[in-house]
């Protein structure tokens, strides 16, 4: 994280726990999910050409997703561990509500963007993928992380893979999904 402003962590959560989390998320009522919005402040809009995901925001203690609390505790441990080598992370005192995101098949993606272009307090973004294996590159939905030198790293959204990055620094996009993609 200190060198590249992002890190990819496989087997982030226990294998039983990630299976439980995936099952709980997929069992949620579809009505909890709304079209992802773009724009900052009060001017957020629904633009599927920019952002094609459907999202649900939950509380960490949501009884419909009991495994989420354990995942959030694991995320908190990660931040503490990263703060040892990245002192700026020591200022993190809270986290936002967890958000579930589903990119439907048929080409849904999210164009190149920053998660914090200029205002909210977000310092880190943590993604944990809930997609079944195997995930083929033709399934799409990869995360593309852009480097300062113009190059990019493409990350396959495989089950139990976590990606953590600096929200104000790392430009990224979600490539078109040809298979339903969960994070």
Q: Which residue has the tokens 């439980």?
A: 20
- Which region among 36-45, 96-105, 147-156 has the lowest average model confidence (pLDDT)? 36-45
- The CA distance from 9 to 151, in Å, is 21
Q: What confidence tens digit (pLDDT) does each residue in 69-111 have?
A: 999 999 999 999 999 999 989 988 888 889 999 999 999 999 9
Determine what percent of the chain is predicted with pLDDT higher than 90. 74
User: In 3D, which of 171, 181, 50, 36 has the Cα closest to residue 106?
Assistant: 181
**CA Rg value for the chain:** 16
- Beta-bridged to residue 100, according to DSSP, are 56
Q: What confidence tens digit (pLDDT) does each residue in 106-141 have?
A: 999 999 999 876 667 789 999 999 998 899 999 999
- Diameter of the chain by CA atoms? 45
31 backbone dihedrals φ, ψ, rounded to 5°: -70, -15
């Amino acid at each position: 994280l200190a060198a590249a402003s992002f890190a990819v962590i496989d087997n982030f959560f226990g294998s039983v726990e990630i299976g439980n989390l995936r099952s709980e998320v997929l069992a949620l009522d579809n009505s909890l999910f709304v079209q992802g919005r773009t724009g900052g402040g009060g001017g957020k809009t629904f633009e599927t050409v920019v952002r094609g995901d459907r999202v649900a925001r939950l509380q960490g203690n949501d009884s419909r997703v009991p495994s989420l609390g354990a995942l959030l505790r694991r995320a908190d441990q990660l931040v503490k561990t990263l703060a040892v080598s990245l002192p700026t992370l020591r200022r993190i005192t809270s986290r936002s509500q967890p958000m579930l995101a589903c990119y439907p098949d048929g080409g849904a993606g999210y164009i190149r963007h920053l998660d914090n272009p200029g205002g909210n307090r977000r310092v880190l973004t943590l993604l944990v993928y809930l997609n079944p294996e195997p995930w083929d590159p033709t399934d799409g939905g990869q995360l593309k992380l852009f480097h300062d030198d113009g190059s990019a790293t493409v990350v396959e959204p495989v089950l139990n893979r976590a990606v953590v990055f600096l929200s104000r620094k790392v430009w990224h996009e979600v490539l078109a999904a040809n298979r339903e993609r969960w994070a």
